[in-house]
Structure 1
Amino acid sequence: MKEDQERANKQLVIKLVWIVAGALVFAFALVPLYDVICAVTGLNGKTNSTAELVVPVKVDSTREVTVQFISSVMPGLGWNFFPLENSVKVHPGQVTTVLFEAKNTTSTEVSGQAIPSVTPGKASAHLKKIECFCFVKQTLKPGEVKKLPLRFFISADLPQDVHELTLSYSFFPAAQ
């Protein structure tokens, strides 16, 4: 009887350890899984929109789209971060470069990673980034100010009813 109880307790402990291990694996896999789902579906305005200009992009000069820029810094980063232009008007297919400025306001070296989001969601697949500070982690020394370029175009197959889109960047603290 006592041996049966001990065996049952050991089996319960083993099951609980597997549940905790499974929960930890799931927790670590959740963020990359979420990023993949958002990139594939365009949910949450996430973009999988890097582009290489292998062939010239056809510019649709009959349309004009306003691209607005919004920036935010998450608590704990200690940066000022903002676009140097609040918005630009572009023709689909027209390659455009805008600059953002980041300043480390702390007395220590700090690293951050920018996460982009595009609204409306149906426009996210049409914003193609050629060069972006969001591709890599950014590190700033104490008091350092950096100009961060964004080079992009909007694909010509952007739905006709989209005349304005907003590109938002949130900078999060990143491990150095």
Structure 2
Amino acid sequence: MSDAPATRRLVGRLLLLVVLMFGFGFALVPIYDLMCRAFDINGKVVMEVYQGQQVVDERREVRVQFLATNTADMVWDFAPKADQLTVHPGASNQMLFVAYNPTNRPMTAQAIPSVAPSQAAPYLHKTECFCFTQQVLQPGERIEMPVRFIVDRDLPADVHQLTLSYTLFDVTARHPPVPVAGR
């Protein structure tokens, strides 16, 4: 009968261990956030939130210009809907780019972005972009492709203008599209 107190002690310790492990699981996320901030590790995308919305710097305006070019072998018409937007850092923005395939065959394209000035590139965050995937257009098809982005509030104060440019490449030979009936 002397085993009963020892068993109760063991069960109590095991239950305490389970509770501590469960609590440690909840503490991992805040610990990870603190480590990322302390060591300036960009392991997470951090959005400052205030009452369910991003914190926007309404006092500052940044002009974002949009450019679209094709490589020599790309025949699509490709352009932004507007040449520029004036945005507030921290605000979510959108620009539409229009692409048209004037050929009589399906084609696949890939857009490669670049940001100027280069020191501002880390401060332009694309949350959605047609450049993330290849685009397939059927003969005569026209599409509008969105770019959703945020200019970071930490953009250096001496940067008042950004240029977001896309170069469109024909990748049909490497990634042949499948023609879609009725599209």
Give the TM-score normalised by structure 1. 0.68
Q: Which residue of structure 2 lines up, in the alignment, with residue 47 of structure 1?
A: none
Structure 1 position 123, deviation (Å): 0.6
Which whole-Å CA distance do the structure 2 matches of 1:52 and 1:111 have between them?
A: 34
Unmatched tracts of structure 1, length 5 or more = 1-50
Match for 1:149 among 146, 165, 170? 146
Structure 1 position 75, deviation (Å): 2.0
**2:54 is paired with a residue of what secondary structure?**
coil
Unmatched tracts of structure 2, length 5 or more = 1-44, 177-183
Structure 1 position 53, deviation (Å): 6.0
**Structure with the larger helix share:** 1
Query: 1:77·1:110 contact (CA, 8 Å) conserved in 2?
Result: no
Match for 1:101 among 85, 98, 102? 98
1:74 corresponds to 2:71 = yes
Q: How does 1:49-128 map to 2 (within 5 A)?
A: 55=49, 56-128=53-125
Letter in 2 for 1:78: V
What is the Cα-based RMSD across aligned positions, in Å? Answer: 1.5
Which whole-Å CA distance do the structure 2 matches of 1:52 and 1:132 have between them?
A: 19
Find the structure with the greater CA-based Rg: 2
**1:149 is paired with a residue of what secondary structure?**
strand
**1:150 is paired with a residue of what secondary structure?**
strand
Q: Which residue of structure 2 lines up, in the alignment, with residue 22 of structure 1?
A: none
Which whole-Å CA distance do the structure 2 matches of 1:111 and 1:141 have between them?
A: 9
Q: Which residue of structure 1 lines up, in the alignment, with residue 162 of structure 2?
A: 165
Q: Identity of counterpart residues, as a percentage?
A: 44
1:140 corresponds to 2:137 = yes
Which whole-Å CA distance do the structure 2 matches of 1:54 and 1:170 have between them?
A: 32
Which whole-Å CA distance do the structure 1 matches of 2:73 and 2:143 have between them?
A: 19
Which whole-Å CA distance do the structure 2 matches of 1:123 and 1:90 have between them?
A: 15
Which whole-Å CA distance do the structure 1 matches of 2:48 and 2:141 have between them?
A: 35
Which whole-Å CA distance do the structure 2 matches of 1:96 and 1:63 have between them?
A: 15
How has the CA–CA distance of structure 1 residues 157 and 52 changed in structure 2, closer, same or farther, with 3 Å as cutoff? closer
The total of aligned residue pairs comes to 126
